[in-house]
Structure formats: structure tokens, C-alpha cells
Amino acid sequence: MRGKGILLVLSVIVILSGCWDRKELDQVSLVTGLALEVSDDEAFSLTIEAINASELNDQTAEGMTPTITYELKGLTMAELLNKMNLGITRELNFSHTRTLIIDEKVAKEGISRFLQFLEKSGQFRNDFQIIVARGVRAKDIITTTYPIQKVPSLKMYEQFRTIKDNWGGYPDSALTDFVFALTSPGRHPVAAAVTIRGNPNEGRNVDDNRELDLNAVIEYDGMAMFHKDRLVGFLSAEDTRNYMWTQDIDQTTATADCGEDGFFALQVYNSHTKVTANYDGDAPAFTLRIIIEGDIHDNQCPDSLGEISTYERYQSIMEDHLEQKLTTTITNVQNKYGVDVFGFGEHLSKQQYKKFKEHKDDWDEEFKKAKISVNAKVYIRRDGMRTKSFIEQVDE
Amino acid sequence: MKANGNEKISLWQLFILITIFAIGTAVVVGTGEEAKQDVWISEVIAASVGVIIVWSYFQLISFSDQKNLYEMLFFAFGKILGTFMCILYALYFFYIASRNIRDFGELMNITILPFTPMEVIVIAMMLPVMYTVYLGLEVLARVTEVISPYIIGILIVVGLLLFFSEGLQFTHLLPILGEGFGPVFEAVFPTLLTFPYGEVIVFTVIMTATTRFSHVGKVGGAAVAASGLLIIYANVIQVAALGVDLKTRTLFPLMTAAREIMLMEFIERVDILVVFILMCGVFIKVSVFFYAGLKGLEYIFLIPINKYIIPIGMLIPFFAVLNSVNIVEHFEEGLVIVPYLLHLPLQFGIPVLLFCIIWMKKRKNKSVSGGIAS
Amino acid sequence: MKKVFRQIISSMKVDGTNHKTTPEDLVDDQNGLISISPSIKKNEEEFNQTFEKNYDFYMEKVFVGKQEGLLLYLTSMVDLPTVAETIRPALANAYRNQKQVTTVSQLENFQKEFFSSNNCIVIEYNHEVSWYILSGFTVILIDGLSKAIAISTITTESRAVEQSKTQTIVRGPQDSFTEVKATNVSLIRRRIKNPHLKVEQFTVGKDTQTAVCIAYLDNVASEEIVRQVRQRVKDIKGSAIFDSGNIEEFIADRVITPFPMLYHTDRPDTVSANIVEGKVAVIVDGTPYVLLAPVVFTDFFQVSEDYYQGFMMASMLRLLRYLAFLIALLLPSFYIGLTTYHPQLIPTGLIISIQAQREGVPFPAVVELLLMEVTFEILREAGVRMPRVVGQTVSIVGALVIGQAAVEAGVVSHFLVITVALTAMAGFVAPVYSFANSTRLLRFALIFMTAALGLFGTIIGFLMIIAHLASLRSFGVPYLAPMGPFILEDQKDVFVRLPIQLMKRRPNYLHPKADVKEPNANPLPSKQKEESS
């Protein structure tokens, strides 16, 4: 009985003395985006994008700014983030951070010193995207508003997810993916790149959302390639889609020419990529086998899709087209940048560990001379609501 | 004095106790870094050896006519040395309990309660442990039975959710045995062997309290095998979700892996599930160690265990905080010093010694009694 | 009903447990047992004194055959037409025949001759006379004899058997127990027509002398459990017993626990079903609530309707009840824990809208929550205690004025109102009232734990609750059975209910004497059978 009493007292003490970590929701600001830029006088400058929640609720919105941005310069991220209260009233909470925007200049200098903080800190989660601002200031990205998702970071996050699910040309660059590629000896990291179409200064105004033709829109602009943690170059959105095809894409639409008259588009709903790694003499050789299933959704040529022969012809056209496009993208990266963002080294390490071990340290050199062959197999399953195209009759 | 008073647990309860005890913290904290992606192979080996270890413990007990650990120690080493040995084991169990509590405190400090003092966390964690042990072994067994479906269920669900949110890349498990068996064995011995399978030594105190002792060996072996499977499962999803490098750099890989879960834009941010697993695991583990240690004190000082619960129960969080000044020291101690200085001798050395002494004593007795008979 | 009553009384006679039913509490402490005086004069004085200042005490000098006698009863307790129709004609008859009633054997003959159609008993002590009068019997004292006859003339007036008020079901029997013990016993007997059904009676309560029956199937219920129940009921040392709730604390294994240690219900079908399973029912005179012992945790999630409808639907509803229990217990704690300690665990979209609504709320979330919870508890208590007529007002004031106004005034946030309302609704799902109350209590404990340590505190509290539950025993049966200790065979009727054909065995944890319910029970209809038919 006395024991129970003591237990009770202990529980009461614990309960009464608690609340170290208690933070009321109206005492914190949720940060959704961070922007890193170089600074002349200090090591770098950091801008945060914090949510003004009542502006995102229909009932409480008053037409004010949906986010609050604030910039500080300093030496370490950890300190800067705590110091933000120089200009911001509330304590910051980073668990809902969606984007980390990196200025091109910072990216060229190397970003691992920032990432290690983000990874170590228990406050951040893995689900934010690392994004390189291409040609514009990083800060401008998180100050460009959009009518539906008023918070720029949330807009980008949603947009990227949609791109990934539909057109497929988006490289997932969450923190874990990035760090994984960074630490893997047979792969270099990539990150998404964004830019602003229009005038960044006008995008800053909430009133910009009233325009039918927005003055500034954040636009996805392919991907950035890194050597270790340093930016070496960009790929266009089209090339990024090809890149993603080497990484096993889910869904996309591919266009090839169906003769002199025009093009046809294949909506791919199932694609499977398999990489076979081997050593051909002293140069590594990789074979990409891609199996694609899709429907024809657009056909500008008069060929009748009611015949098997057309299907077969289109299939082989598409195969050739894809093989050629992918090979071009890969060799372009090989020759121009020489960084293995495709993870071919990783495939080699899984399949021929001993060979890879020999070249582990000079893998980039090996990658440059690697022979890549792409082998696509396309299956066209069906073609929309109409079998025969009326173009046939138009032409006659 | 009858072992464990009149408290009896069923074979099923023993099974579930050992299983949850073994997976308790092992599924959450990263083990076997040396083996990299082949950690599951190490785990297979360790679990197989674990089965043998448990079987041997059972054989040792049945060989000594169902004496529990403390009775065996007294029987083998006599009054004075036996008392010393009992104190040694009791302290060992308390120490491991405090280590587990500290592990847990570190996780809470790092992840969900960064500003709460460690002291508060460990004392709060000790409250249910003390309460349960106060209520007795049977209650502990029943509590384990009740919460075990949730622990195992959540563990499996975390894996499934990861699978469905396309977070698992099984290619991370390749290449198999890229560096040969060397690193695999390096991981098995001594870390994986002593943690968690060697720790089953604590059940030599409890095994004798089962209703049908003759089956304990089989049940114990099955329990270790079952926990082995679950630990392998956990290891595989950790590696497949995070990759080897990240897995080895993370303090609590399952937690990090669970953060990758994103499903239907609704099932996400489910870390608390992993915290729940670890909490229940730590709770059971510490309760078992705490109970076993208290039992030792009961044998030494002949005072029923309920008298010790408050003082010792308060010492454990105290030591959990004071054991090491920082997290690195804590893990260093756990990986470098403890296995060689404590685990190996107390989990394997002394039991082997016990077996020899009891065997000799028995032979002597037999020859003496045989002499009289003839 | 009378038949039942007679059966009880005759069984008492056979057992010789006569004295037990006329408890010694009425015996005069100073003088001990006093036999009935053979002198009518003396008796007249005696009982006039005993029942003085009672308007309803009726005493009349009559002739019993040749002898003089006294007719005693309480007008408020007896059924006057019965007295007029049976006792008076019998006495008149006896007088006409000049019956000789001077010896005990003649008395017995007299009783057999004239009152054989009534429940009738020969008594010999003063305190018995008082007791039977108080119980609604008519007592006839005869001059020159130190024995008396007590004839049951108890009024059958009572509330009619109505629909259950607290545990309503859609499909299944709609009757419920009343305040009259005899009615209640008959409701059970009508359902279990089985000579193995034993109904033992005891009288407890020093001041109220309440009759308490225990009912069980003696070929099913574990002897140990029956013995314990019987012993504990006998050992009750209380002054006043008005409801089974009074009994509950006396016979429960543990009192310091928020959980009910006995199941109470006013549904005869539930009681009968449980008796058949091997449990013991405790019926208290004067209350429609019958207790069932032993009880396990999972019993509180079962309702009799589970067995009257398809097993799939029943299983789903049962799982829903468990879910509702968890919601009622944990939801407020989760709300507090997630919003004030772990905002990282809430999906982004959700947390933004929660935050938007919390802007400007002047209290910390815990205070806000406690405010609403306490308000709700007050409303609830008011709703229960309030006269039915004004009940409507309460709900209007509660729901509209307080809820709506509080949100509009910005004192509480919408989400909190949703949380509290959902919690409250989930609390009402619990089929047994006392169990719902224990959730209410523990909910507050968990809120405090969570307020101090976040979800960590919730889980600690939860573990302690489980440890507490695991330590409880109800009449020797572990409270968490069949989950802890885990009994595989009994799982068929815990979280889900399997088809009735698969439930051939009684729950193991009750240690039934007869394990199998019906050895030749129908098997599940096989597919082949369906095809052939």
C-alpha cells in the first residue's frame, strides 16, 4: 500500500512537472520552404517560407499574404533557423517542410554541408524535395504565388507529384534519395530544377492571383546533375523524362513520327526497365531492356489503326525512336558531364561485385567509356474510342 | 524455498515472453552493421545459434533438477561465492535494464521529445515497469500476451505500408555475400549473438516457473526462432527501405524507414507506431530484467521482491542517466565493452562453468550414494 | 409465478435451511430465540408492540376451528382479495366444522386441509412471525399452540414487464426484469426449463432484509465459482441493500479499480444465455438489474443481439464496439498529444486547417479540451437527472447554445468540438453503462498524462491500464481472459462471432463442468447439401 502511494506521488510529480515539449499550435509557425543563397559578407543566406494558416482557411482568409518569408545571413543552418525570430514572432516548426530551394551558385560550391544538418536534425522529415533554382534567385521561387495553392512550396510539391504520376519526367529528389545517391559509389545525385516564367517581382504580389494570365509562374525545368555534391549541369525536361525511363518510369506519353505526315503519341501505362551490367573487355557494358505497354492516343497519320500491320509498324517505329532517344541522352551525359547519375555503377555492383570493386574509386572514368545499348520492346494494346481515323478520308 | 513462489506461467506465455523479449528493441535499433546488406544472413546464423543457446540453458536447468539460475549458483558455488555470483547476476540484469531504458530515452530525446529531460523520460518509463513487476510475473506474462499482437502486427504493417508506398527496393539487398562470409561472422560474433539471443539467459530465472517444464526447451527454441524471423523481417525492410549506407548511419533504422511511408496522402507520418513498438518492447524487456534481478536479491537477502521494487526501481533510471555522459559513450560501451566484459562471461562462461561443477558434484554424489548401495 | 415461489420455499424446507431465510438479525439481541407463546393474549401484546405505530398493521381475533386465534398481516403488503377469498372462507369452514387444532400435528393437518392451495409454512419463533408478516404473509396464531401458520398472500402488484430501458436491441426478446424478484426468477426459468437450474436464496442487509438469489446450472457452472459466489453473498455484512450495485462492491474481488467487476443487465435473455454458458446470476429483490459473475473484459463488448443476427454483421458491429471503446478512451489524448506535442505526425493539409482554427483561441489546447469535456459531463449529468419534461431544453441549450456559441466566440476551435462530440458518441456505444463510466474516468487520467508527456504519456498510461487489467480477477477468472491468458479456443466469440455451429464449446476460462454445449449440434451446412436440396 505504501508502495502504491509512492508510485502515485511519482506519477503526480511527473505529470505536474511536465510540458517541456508542449507547444501550442498557435505558438508555432509551420515552415514549408527554405531557400539557400550565397551571401557576400557571410557564408550564406537562408530564407524561410512560413505559413500564415488563417489565410489558407476559407472562413478566416482576409486576402493577406499566405506565407511569410524572412531572410537571414549566417554561418550554420542550425543557428540561423533558431535565430529567425529576429523577424518572426513565433517559434518555427520544420516538420512540414516541403522544399529546399538551392541557388545555382550554392549548388556549384557543394551542398553537403547543408544536407548533413537536415539529415541529422530530428525536426526535418525525409519528404521534402531538393530543388535547384535555375537562372533565378532561390528566394524568388518561394515568393511566387499561385491561385490554387497559395503557398509556393506546396504548389511545387503538388505539381511535382502530378508530373511524376502523369508525364513521368520528374526525378524524385527527396533528402534520402539525394543522400543515398551521394553516398553510393556507383551513382551521382540529381535534383529537380525549377525556374520562373514571367516577372519574379510581380509574382510576389498576392494580387497577381487576380490576373487571368499570371505574371509569374513557377515552372518545372528538368533536372540538375551533381558530381558528388556539386552541381555540374542541367538536363532539359525532355531529357529528364528519358533519364527517368532508365530508372523505371511509371507512366508517360511518348511521341514518334509515323512517316512524313506527322506524329503519333503513345500513352505508356506500363513500363519496365531492366539493366544488365557486364564487362566487355576493360570497358563496362550495359544493356537496358525496356518493355513498354501503351495505347495510341494521337495519330496524325492516315494509317488505319484497324490493321495489325499498322500496330506492328508503329511498335517498331516507337522502339527505334526510344532506343535512339535514350542512347542520345545517355551518351550526352557521358561525354558532356561524365557523371553517372543513372546509377549504372550501382547496377554493376549488384550484379558483378568483384569487377565493380576494382573500379570503385575511379568509377566516373569507367563510366565515360561504358558501352550502353538500349533495347526497347513496345506493345501497343489499343487505340482510343475510334478505330479508323477520319484523316484517311480528309486526305482522299 | 520454491522458485518464483507459487506464480506459474503457461508455456504459451513463456513463448510470447521470450519472443517479445528478443524482438523488443532489436527490431528498432540497428544491429550488425558490419555485415552491411547481408545482415539478414548474420541474423539467420545468430538466430540458429540462439535456438541452440536457449536449448542449452534449458538442458542446464533440467540437468540441475529444475533449479533456477540463482539456486544453481548457490548449489554450485556454495554459500559465499554463490552469494557473490548472485549479486553479480542481479547487478548485470539491472545494468542491462538501465541500458535499455537509456536507449529508449535517447530515442525519445532525438525524435519526439527533444526538450524533455532524460530523467523524466526514464522515470516515467519505469512507472509501468514497477507497477507491472509489483503485480507479479503472471501479470507481466498476461500483459505481454495482450500487447504482443500489436507489437508484431505493427511491425508487419510497417513493412507492408512501406511496400505499398513503393518505399522498398529489394535491390538494396544485393550483392549477396559481396565480401564473403567474413563481415557476416564479424557481425554475428559477438554483437548479434549476445544481443538479443544471449540475453535470454535472464529466462533461466523464469523458465522454472512454467507449468509444464519438460516442454520448455522446445518452446524456448521455437520462441527464439520466431523472434529470429521477425528480426530478419525487420532487417530486410530496413535495408530495402533505406539502403545499407543510410541504415548503418541511422540510430533507429526502423523509425527512419517508417518515415518513408506515404500512402494515399493520408497514411503518412506514422513514426509513432515505431515508437509504440519500441516502447512496448523496452517495457517488456526491462520488466523481465527487473523481475529477474529482484528475484536474485530475494535469494540473497531472503526478503520478498515487493520490498525492493521502489528503491531498485528508482535506481535503474538513475543509473540509466549516469551510465554514460553522452550518446556516443553509451553506444561505445554497449558495442565494445559490454559484450566482452559482461555478455560473454555471464551469458556463456558462467553457465558452462555451472554445468561442469554441477556435473562433477552430481557424479560425486552418485559415486558416494553408489558406494553406500553396493 | 406462484409455482416458482412454492418451489423455492419447498426446497428450503427440504434443505432445512429455514432459518437462513429468516435471518437472525431480527432476533432480539438480549433474549435470543423466543418461541411463539401459546397464549393469545401475550401474543397480542407482543405483536402490537412490535408493530406499533404502523397504520397498516392489521390484527384480528378469529376462531381457528374451536380455538381462538389471531390473524396478522400488513395491509400494505398483502393482496387483500386473496385474504378474503382464501383465508377467510377456510377459517369460516374450520369454524363450522369445529375443527380441533390443539396439537402440532393437528395444526399441520389443518394447514394441509385448508391452505394446500397457498404457499404455507409452519413457523415457531417470534422473529419468524415478524419476518413473514413483513414479507407479506398472513400469519395465524392459535391459542394454546406455540406454532403458527404463515400463508403467502403477498401482493403481486408491481410494474409490468416492460422493454429494457438501458440495453435496447432491435431484434430479439424485448422484455426486461422488474423490481420483483419472483418475476425475475420466473423470467429466467421460463427461458431455461431445466431441472439443473438452481436458484438459491439468501437474505442480506441488516436493516433491509433483502432477498438475494443466485442462479446457475449445476451441471455446467464450475463448482469453484458457484462456491465463491455463494460464500461472498452469504458474507455480505451491510445495512441496506437496494440495488445490485450495493451488492457489487461487497462481492467483487477488487474494489479499487475503475472497471466494473460484475456484469449488470436488465435483460433476461442475456442473463439466461450467460447462465447456460456457465456463469452465475445474482438476483437482488427490488431491482431490475441482475448481476452476472464471473465477468471478463470482453463481455462488455457483447450484446445479446450479436447472437440473433448474422455472424458477419455481428462480428462487424462487435469490432466497431472495440473501436468505439478505443476512440472514447484515447481520442482526446491523441488530439492533445498530436496538436501540442507532435505536429510532425499530422498530415500537412490537416494541420494547416487545425492551426487556422486555433488562431486566436485564448486557452492552451488542454484547458480548451478539459473545458469542453467538463461541460459535456455536466450536460450529460443534467440530462440524466433532469425531469423528462425539461430534458429537451437541456439538449437544445447544450448543443446549440454552448457548442455553437463557444466556437463562434472563439473560445474553442471547431476541431475540438468535433473531437469531444465524437468521443462522447463513442462512449455511448458501450453496451454496459458501468463500463462506459470507467472509460470516462480513464479518459481524464490519460488526458493528464498526455498533457504532461505527449503521446509518450498516453502510451505509458495505456500500458499501466493494461497491467492493471491483467492483474484483475473476477471470481478467480482473469479479467483479460481469453486474451491474457490467451486461450485459442475461446477466440471464436471475442473480437468476432463465428457461426453458431462452430461454437460448440463453452468458454474455457469459465472452467465449465460440461465443456461441450451439444455433442450432436448441427455441423455447418456444407456446400454439397445445398446443391442436393
As a three-state string, the secondary structure of C2-21 is HHHHHHHHHHHHHHCCHHHH
* Model confidence at A144: pLDDT above 50: yes
| Cβ separation B246–A184 shorter than 8 A | no
pLDDT for C332 equals: 92
Cβ contact C344–A25 (<8 Å): no
CB atoms within 10 A of CB C24: 12
Count CB-CB contacts under 10 A for residue C179: 15
What torsion, rounded to 10 degrees, do the Cα atoms C503, C505, C509, C513 define? 160
Of A21, A28, A123, nearest to C454 by CB-CB distance is: A21
For residue B139, give how far its alpha carbon lies from the nearest alpha carbon of chain C (Å): 5
Distance of alpha carbon C456 from alpha carbon B107, whole angstroms? 11
Residue C431 per-residue DSSP state = S
Chain B CB contacts of C486 under 8 Å are 12-13, 16, 145
Q: Cis peptide leading into C173, omega within 30 of 0?
A: no
pLDDT tens for residues B100-109? 898 888 888 8
User: What span, in angstroms and rounded, lies between the C-alpha atoms of C30 and C274?
Assistant: 45
Q: What's the residue count for chain A? A: 396
Residue C95: helix, strand or coil by DSSP?
A: helix
Q: What is the structure's pLDDT at C11?
A: 42
Query: Which one, of B230, B246, B103, B104, lies nearest residue B157 by Cα?
Result: B230
**The total number of residues written for chain B in this structure:** 374
What residues of chain A lie within 8 A of the CB of B243, using their CB? 180, 184
> CA B14, CA B207: separation in Å to the nearest integer?
8
Can you give the three-state secondary structure of C362-397, one letter per residue?
A: CCCHHHHHHHHHHHHHHHHHHHHHCCHHHHHHHHHH
- The chains found to touch A (3+ Cβ pairs under 8 angstroms) are B, C
pLDDT at B287: 92
B254 vs B249: CA distance, rounded Å: 12
Contact B93, B290 (CB under 8 A): yes
Among A15, A24, A154, whose Cβ lies nearest the Cβ of C340? A24
Grid cell 494570365 — which residue?
A213
Å from C440 to nearest chain A CA?
19
Instruction: With beta carbons under 8 A apart, name residues in chain B contacting A180.
Output: 242-243, 245-246
pLDDT of residue B286: 92
DSSP code at position C132? H
Q: For chain B, which ranges sit under pLDDT 50?
A: 1-4, 371-374
Taking residues C42-69, report their average pLDDT.
Answer: 83
Residue of A nearest to C367 (CA): A24
How far away is chain C from the Cα of A21, in angstroms, using its nearest Cα? 6
Please tell me which chains touch B, using 3 or more CB pairs under 8 Å as the contact test.
A, C
Give the three-class secondary structure for B68: coil
Quote the mean pLDDT of chain C.
82
**C388 Cβ contact list (under 8 Å, min separation 6):** none
For the stretch A262-319, pLDDT in tens is 888 888 888 888 888 888 777 888 888 888 888 888 777 777 777 788 888 888 888 8
- Percent pLDDT > 70 in chain B is 96
* Mutation for A interface: B168, B310, B328, most A CBs within 10 A: B310
How many interface pairs between A and B have CB atoms less than 8 angstroms apart?
64
pLDDT band (50, 70, 90) for residue C281:
very high
Nearest neighbour of B130 by CB, restricted to A7, A17, A357: A7
Q: Rounded to whole angstroms, how far apart are CA atoms A71 and A52?
A: 17
Q: Do B120 and A20 touch (CB under 8 A)?
A: yes
Mapping DSSP to helix (H, G, I), strand (E, B) and coil, where does residue B134 land? helix
Judged by average pLDDT, the poorest of A66-80, B49-63, B355-369, C330-344 is B355-369
Q: Residue holding cell 523577424?
A: A87
Q: Which residues on chain A are in Cβ contact (under 8 Å) with B269?
A: 125
Q: CA–CA separation, B175 vs C95, rounded Å?
A: 113
With both helix axes pointing from N to C terminus, report the angle between C181-191 and C2-15 in degrees, rounded to the nearest 10: 100
- DSSP letters along C164-204, please? -SSS--SSS--B---S-HHHHHHHHHHH---TTEEEEEEEE
Q: Omega of the bond prior to B175 within 30 degrees of 0, cis?
A: yes
In angstroms, the CA C219 to CA C281 distance is 15
Q: How confident is the model at residue C327 (pLDDT cuts 50, 70, 90)?
A: very high
Round to whole Å and give the CA distance between A202 and A213: 12
pLDDT reported for residue C154 = 78
Three-class HEC string of B205-228: CCHHHECCHHHHHHHHHHHHHHHH
> Is residue A25's pLDDT more than 50?
yes
CB contact under 8 A, A127 and B268: yes
- For A225, B171, B340, C402, the CA distances from A370, given in Å and listed in that order, are 19, 22, 48, 74
Predicted-complex ipTM score: 0.90
Nearest to C460 among B112, B128, B141 (CB): B128
| Angstrom distance (rounded) from CA C332 to CA B341 | 48
So what's the pLDDT on residue C282?
92
Question: Inter-chain contact B116–A184, Cβ cutoff 8 Å?
Answer: no
Q: What is the CA radius of gyration of chain B?
A: 21
Q: Which residues have C-beta within 8 Å of that of residue B241, sequence separation ≥ 6? A: B162, B167, B168, B169, B172, B257, B260
Interface of C with A (CB under 8 A): 339-341, 343-344, 348, 351-361, 364-365, 448-449, 451-454, 457
- Residues of chain A in contact with residue C341, where contact means CB-CB under 8 angstroms, are 21-23
- Chain length of chain C: 533
pLDDT of residue C342: 86
**Confidence label for A222 from pLDDT (cuts 50, 70 and 90):** confident
Q: With 50 as the cut, is the pLDDT of residue C533 above it? A: no
Q: Are B76 and B354 in contact (CB under 8 A)?
A: yes
The answer to whether B343 and B190 have CB atoms below 8 angstroms apart is yes
Arithmetic mean of pLDDT over chain B:
84
Out of A199-208, B320-329, B352-361, C245-254, pick the least confident.
Answer: A199-208
Q: Does the beta-carbon distance from B145 to C486 stay under 8 Å?
A: yes
User: How many cross-chain Cβ pairs, B to C, lie less than 8 Å apart?
Assistant: 94
Neighbouring C-alpha atoms within 13 Å toward the C-beta of B234: 32
A357-392 in b/e form (b: 16+ CB < 10 A) is eebeeebbebbeebebebebebebeebeeeeebebe
Whole-number Å distance between alpha carbons of B187 and B193? 9
pLDDT attached to residue B222: 92
Q: Cβ–Cβ of A25/C352 closer than 8 Å? A: no
Instruction: Suggest the residue from C335, C339, C344 to mutate for an interface test with chain A (most A CBs closer than 10 A).
Output: C344
Residue in chain B closest to C484 (alpha carbons) equals: B142
pLDDT at B65: 81
- Which residues in chain C are closer than 8 Å to A95, comparing Cβ atoms? 343-344
With a cut of 60, say whether residue A339 has pLDDT above it: yes
Query: Which chain A residue is nearest to residue C352, measuring alpha carbons?
Result: A53
Of A53, A98, A123, the CB nearest to C355: A53
Please tell me the distance in Å from C361's CA to the nearest CA on chain A: 8
- Give the per-residue pLDDT at B374: 38
Q: What is the 3-state secondary structure (H, E, C) of chain A?
A: CHHHHHHHHHHHHHHHCCCCCCCCHHHEEEEEEEEEEECCCCCEEEEEEEECHHHHCCCCCCCCCCEEEEEEEECCHHHHHHHHHHCCCCEEECCCCCEEEEEHHHHHHCCHHHHHHHHHCCCCCCCCEEEEECCCCHHHHCCCCCCCCCCHHHHHHHHHHHHHHHCCCCCCCEHHHHHHHHHCCCCCCEEEEEEEEECHHHHCCHHHHHCCCCCEEEEEEEEEEEECCEEEEEECHHHHHHHHHHCCCCCEEEEEECCCCCEEEEEEEEEEEEEEEEEECCEEEEEEEEEEEEEEEEECCCCCCCCHHHHHHHHHHHHHHHHHHHHHHHHHHHHHCCCCCCCHHHHHHHHCHHHHHHCCCCHHHHHHCCEEEEEEEEEEEECCCCCCCCHHHHHC
The pLDDT score that the predictor gives to residue B332 is 82
Q: Which residues on chain B are in Cβ contact (under 8 Å) with C467?
A: 128, 131-132, 135, 139, 143
Q: What is the pLDDT of residues C12-54, one digit of tens each?
A: 443 333 444 455 556 665 666 778 888 888 888 888 888 888 8
